[in-house]
Structure 1
Amino acid sequence: MTKGIPVIKTPTKIAAPSPPEQENLRLVHELQVHQVELEMQNEDLARMRDQLGQNLERYVDLYDFAPVGYFTLTDDGTIREVNLTGATLLGQERARLIGRRLGLFVSTATLPAFNTFLNQALAGTSKAFGEAGLCLEGLSPRYLSLAGVGLNTGSERLCRVAALDITKHHRMEVALQASEARLQSILRVAPVGIGVVRNRILQDVNDTLCRLTGYTREELVGRSARQFYLNDEDFDWVGLEKYRQIVEQGTGAVEVRWRRRDGTNIDVILSSAPLNAADLAQGVTFTVLDITERKQAEELLKLSEARYRAIVEGQTDLVCRCLPDGTLTFVNAAYSHYFGRSPEDLLGTNITLLIPDANRAEALARIESCDAAHPRDTQEHQVVRADSAIRWMQWHNQAILNDDNALIEIQGIGRDVTEQRAMKIELQRLATTDLLTGLFNRRYLLTVLETEIERARRHGRPLALILFDLDHFKQINDTCGHDQGDQVLQAIVAQVQGRLRRSDVFARWGGEEFLILAPETTGPDAVALAETLRTALRALPRPEGGSITASFGVTTYQPEETLDQWLKRADVWMYASKRQGRDRVNGDEVNVP
């Protein structure tokens, strides 16, 4: 090789992979592709798992907090699953319901219907529907609407039940049924004929009307009332006259001659009232009284009507009716006038809206307490009128029951007792207060003394009396006159009251004697207070010259002594001050020279 001349190497040729190696490379590539695909699938599965978890959480929330109670029941009615709403309906914690039979919470009256519903739901052929009343300890009765369907698990019989609270609807339905029952009862037993007409076509008649006219119900309902009248003139006149009276006074009454089915004539009084005073086209209800044969019955009816109007419509007392929840269903004219609201504004509203907030809960509780066991109640509470005036009303409440002693409504008769209450308070004030000074009088203080002595004895607390008598007060009356003496007494009261605690009881004991009852006060503290009062009184001038002075007796209560003994000791100490020259304090904690 020649020095300095580079050697150019020929590149080595790479041999092509053999067929086995090519197959291995293809397999490795496919495995890498599968690995990427698996990783992408794993990511998709993770996203689907997260989405499934979120959906599950939403499902659980919807299940638990749905406005409908859901139960999963076994074939004997045992609760396997229940949502929060279902547990709330039963008034129990969910954990305490699992494993218990739902029928245990169903009222005895509705248990057979519930069992029938459960068997239909478990059958699984179609949806089952039913209702059940709940009897829950410590809670008012509830009523549920039930829908159920069987679940095919292959190993056991289950059903899923949805429950909706229909308590309010059930109560209204019961009240409506009771009202309908009362109406039908009146129609059946009424001693007069009763019917309903619209456009003078008979819509309904009672048995008495059929007996009175000799027609069957099928021959009357759907036909014109013209068949009762002797001629067209009478028929037209009755229609016009009753319409006129209804428009003018709300009801109509006429005397007319009718012809019975057998052709005989009877004289009747025909009285009518609109089904809806605001829309006469809806028809009228009428009563028919045979005055030819039933004069006595007519007089009784008039008397009954007069009593009704005198008691309800014409009286000055307020009359109302309400449902057990306080919803007004009837008010008389006096009620509407008193509260300054029309019946339309009142009916359907809650009676407690006319009561101040402070009295509302108690008043409603008293109304709700009316039932078969407690049918009557008297209460007093404040009310608010339309002019915002707050007045006191006394109510006499009466439970209105159906034939099964179930509560339908509560009727209240009310009277304004604002002035009576004010007079009672004033009389009480006069009975317990000294008119001249405004202090409590001797009679009231004796009552307070008994109470405070008992409290002090029971709890071992100190209790003190300060009795003082004005010195030479008679001279003021004799020299300056009683008017001047009264002014001095009033000035003394003002001077003393400004130095007493709110818990102290200050009373005029008699004449120019005054007594102070000081709870939670020891002997030394009572003596100190008496000295303060004695000094304060000296600051008041006497009308004839000099200062006002008083002699004090101070004593504390001893558990072994009576009230008379205690008062006697205070009196003894006061007269000791008098003997020692007046204008001084003597008592249990004072050394008497």
Structure 2
Amino acid sequence: MSLQAVRPKILGFISEQASAWLVALVVFSAGCALTVIVAWSASDLYQQQVRQRFQLLVNERFTRLQERFEDQEQRLGSLRRFFVNSSEVSREEFDGFAQPLLLRTRAYVWAPRVFRDQRSQFEQEMSRQRGTPFSIRELNPSGELAPAAERDEYVPVLYSQTQSLLGSPLGFDLLAQPLRRSVVERAQSSGKLAVSQPMQLVGVEPAYATGVLLVAPVTPLTGTEPHGFVMAVISMRQLVAEGLPKPDRDNLVMQIVDTSDQQKRLLYESSNALASSDLSASRRLTLGDHVYALSLRPSQVFDQTNHSSLASILTMGGLLSLLLSALLYVLVSQRQRALKLVEQRTVQLRQREQELRGAHGQLRSVLNAATQVAIIATDLRGVINTFNAGAEQMLGFKAEQVLNRSTLESLHVAAELEARAASLSVTLGKRIPPSQAMLVENPDSLHEAREWTLIRQDGSQLTVNMLGTVLLDDHGLWVGHLAIYLDVTEQKRAYEALAARDRLLKKLSAHVPGGIFQFTLEPHDNWRFIYASDGMRDIYEIEVGVLQQDAKKVFERIHPLDAERVRASIRLSSLQLSHWREEYRVQLPQRGLRWIRGEATPEELPGGGTLWHGYVSDISDLKRVEEELRALSITDSLTGIHNRRYFQDRLKAEMVRLNRTSGALSLIMLDIDHFKRINDKHGHGVGDGVLQELCRRISQRLRRTDVFCRLGGEEFMVLCPNTDGAQAYSLAMDLWASLRSAPMEPVGVVTASFGVASWQVDEGIDGLLLRADSAVYVAKQAGRDRVAVETIRT
């Protein structure tokens, strides 16, 4: 194509005659317009992202508050079940059970029902038990507690476990005030949890005074009417605000309103500043029999955190447009100067063209000098007119034997040419003669070397790679073909040997359990599998081809808790050239969680990096057997509770914790009374049943943190972490009562001797166990069927 054909335009779309300044101005205007469009799109995207972030914050806040409300219901429910399952609860037992429940609750209260004819006797009995005067009281007009007026029924506060520094309003009658009476009557009629309207709480610091009462009736197992109520005094500030971000860091402004309150008073409102945004969200919270409306809006902190980048986009877009226009100005002006220079050089190139024609003869000499490659040229009829020295050496013919006498077709095996011609005819949709089969290119494999079989002068065959092309004269006319042949016989033999070795390796690896691999860690933290057997696909559920392309796919399968450890062990093995061995978990899409064991031997690569030869295998079944054996080793086979070994391990761990952080720890040891008589009279089968029933009853009365173990025979131990002596004694009395509360068939009532010992500072395991055993001995010497406390340190 001549120079005149390309002169009208520069850079494909800019006229050569156009002013560089005009081009720069047009590009700058277009860039500014594009910047405005992008800024508009970014603004819309920003608004969507802000709404999404706000919804995420709203959902997280709602979930957290609902969990807190449900937790309060569960805690009060557990206190109610404690009273339902106990015939009588002392104040010490109430304090021991309710004190651990005080989480985001100001107080827990027990209030029995007292009728008019029982009031005097009740007040006298409570005064005698407490050692101080006790009376049923109510608030007088001045807001002070005074003796309650005569009514048919009272529900006075008898027990209270509180966080308040103001103490507990003992004797306060819940029926003396309309709001409290309403919630008590609703709980009594429904038999379920009931919540009061928002009120000012009694006996609570002013900062926490606004809240509600959560009341649950306590109905005996054999009765239909409640004999009292348990109540949670809940400050909304403590329940909602504690544990949330501080006001100067909170992204949300929150309001909670009781939907059943006709005045729609605020139960809780955040103190942080509201943002100037139209975003808002509402949710419904439930507590007992009330539904609360939770209103959430973004705060000023949320606006400051999610500021728009519109100004930055406009600024950067304008600058980029300016730079691009300046760049095009430089390019256009330089292109115009370059075209003038091209015209000057064209004359010089035509002179060089004549010189290149003279070099054509020299090129023929160079072709003959290529003795390792056969170069053969033909005319349009296929008659050979060029046969270099390499062709003579490869095929055994002399040039004068074939030049202008033989065709290229005569050097090929006829069967290959016919098969190739038939395939090309189908592909191209026209008939291709066998004489042209080696010269016609397949559109799917254009300019690719193809393997052929040639016939030497002595009749032997030679495997070669052939690349064929057309020959053009100085005017671009087609004058013949050029074929270049390369002997690949030895190369093919080497490939066949490698293929045989690969097949052997594949067969061997198929019979090896697990997967075999070669893995490299190259500089710049480049991980790569250079070989992976088919077993690797079964181990990681990843195709072998994918593994070899991206080794990091394996680490995506490794369990997050094990991934960093495996990476660190590989790096350590690379650094020290030490044997690598790891056991880790993988999370597979189909088989789920599996255990894998891997081993590999490293070697240093000459160019830097490390190469490992190793294998991996699935050890999930072995791990499962290990876990089953471990469970059997710490479980008593008869009763199903923990055995002596587990008790010793847990006791050692608790002693280590005490020596490190201090705290409380108690032991409750029990020994069944006259157990040998049961075995002798009823047989060992009945004795085993007694042991199992005893474990069932005691397990029902224990807390989640307690550890119940069988030491052997009829001896048992309860390990009570974070429990002082008084709490442990209260728990032991509860266990003692539950054991003798009902007979066991067919032996009747079974009793046990209990011993309680609490850890003392600087005391060892042996000393604590000895004191617990001594306490059991004291209980037996005192007549059995009792709880004894050993307080003397030995």
TM-score, structure 1 as length reference: 0.47
Q: Identify the structure with bigger relative contact order (alpha carbons < 8 Å, sequence gap 6+).
A: 2
TM-score calculated relative to the size of structure 2: 0.36
